[in-house]
Structure 1
Amino acid sequence: MSTIAVRPLNKHLKTIALEELNEEPDKIQENLEALKDWLKKSLHIKARTNDQFLITFLRGCKYSLDRSKKKIDMYYTLRTHIPELIKDRDPLDRKTSEIIKFGVGLPLPVTESPGSPRLMLIRPGAFDANKFTIQEVMRVNTMVNDILMIEDDNMVVSGQIGIIDLANVTFAHLVQIQPAFVKKLAMMWQESTPIRQKGFHFINIPRGFEQVFNLLKSFMNDKLKSRLFIHSNLDSMYKVIPRGLMPTEYNGDVGSICSLIESWEKKIHSYRQYFLDESNLYGVDEKKRIGQPKNPSSLFGMEGTFRKLQLD
């Protein structure tokens, strides 16, 4: 067996991995080899097989090989059958480049402690809903999450906390959030992404959001529903999210939103070949799947069965 190529964890994350994720350092290599052997035999899956990528699934599934295999299969299955979120993710594409500059989804650079979850600031109102679609914006957000899965040990081991700032969200934004698309997003996050979501904190709630909020909850499992928090003001959120971890615009200490966007724009561009490869080299071939092949209808149901969300 070759030496494993996995980034060492800091002592805080190492303790969490041991106590919460069932990580046993002397068995990591054995588990990685088991996944690679399974992937060789799973002819319908064309997957990345580097150690750092695969260990994300082991950690996200608390080292259950069976769950890890199912999640990897679903990861590539959904990425194949939801092309509007995964295909055509070239950072040099004009529209994609414009959306990156909005900074709709920004990982915040400082965690509360060396072993704390990663904070993600999500600002849906940052893009013009009359010029861009929620699918186009979420496609860029999947690019950010792909990078975090590779680079961010805090997110992989300790999870992620979302801060959803709904300032400047308009009726045009809300009507784009329709049941068929929400189901796809929920499946991607809950069934295929090996990241533990530790909470969603909503601020600056606009009029008319209640119907959208209820729609989002309808596709969430009970655990995720219990981790949704609506705050009437920033002071309420700061009781659980330290103010200092927020950008300057929120009276925090981690720099301006503009500086965070510039940093992530450079990082996303540095991953250009990765995203091109994701579109062209990886996914599933349903013709080679043993058993019943999957398709959008079997995965998501017929889109026509979802009633369009009508906002007052």
Structure 2
Amino acid sequence: MPAGDSWLFEMKYDGYRAQAAIAGDQVRLYSRGGHDWTRQFGFVAPALATITKGTALIDGEICAIDQHGRSNFSLLKTSLDGRSPIVFFAFDLLEQNGEDVARLPQAERKARLEALLTDLPADSPVIYSQHVAGNGQQVFDAMKAGGFEGVIAKAPAARYYGGDRSTAWLKIKAVQRQEFVVIGWRPPEYGVDNVRGLFLATYEDGQLVFRGAVGTGFTDKMRREVHEVLQLILADGPLDVKGMPRAEARACRWVEPRLLAEVEYTEVTPDGLIRHPSFKGLREDKPARDVHLEVQDA
């Protein structure tokens, strides 16, 4: 946990990372991989279209909010029908009226973003991500006690860096949870069109590395839906996966390494496998090659 009063601490959200590109009343939403998400999450666009007559590029996270006021990744896909509110938490400003704001210090970018969003109504689906300067341990303890994901610690003088591996933004998690690359599935013992479990990996130095398998956390409906998605990306043959036991490889029905699974787990073993994993859902907001085993920054 970074010490001192200089670091900024924000809530860690549980949703889809996205960027909002604004040009007056024209708004487009993009995933980290550059996919256009305006159609899927266009209901936040009208609010974004009111914040400036010029241009802006805002980094943030699209989240579904549960009955306890917490962002909940598992609800996100099922919330498109309006059963749970969906919001866009805005936490960084990268461009404004043609100026490259990403090169400015974090604290200045946050101040500009707050000023840009200041006139939004209280019920807007676009929400400025508040932060606390210093007192990181107290902020983390409060988030953990409230059942939240954890915090992100941000160095106030740092410029913006894309991706997840910058030392300017540190994830301090209340639970161990991240996305993994799905490399295949374990079929059921009987001829049912679903999955018994998913085989998981991460990319390390361009090589797929085996991280284990997840078989819990699925509903019956999830097992069927995941099976349907996997049929669309069947691999021509076995993948080259470092550290995968032969027995697991023989049992695996291989798929192209494009799909991501969000998984919660208790710890990583000394040989790099995750323990007691639980499936939370599939992800679409990040390229598979950007998925690495995350190390707790606390």
Query: Could you state the TM-score of these two structures normalised by the residue count of structure 2?
Result: 0.23
Q: Which has the higher strand share?
A: 2
Q: Which has the higher helix share?
A: 1
User: Higher relative contact order at CA 8 Å, sep ≥6: structure 1 or structure 2?
Assistant: 1
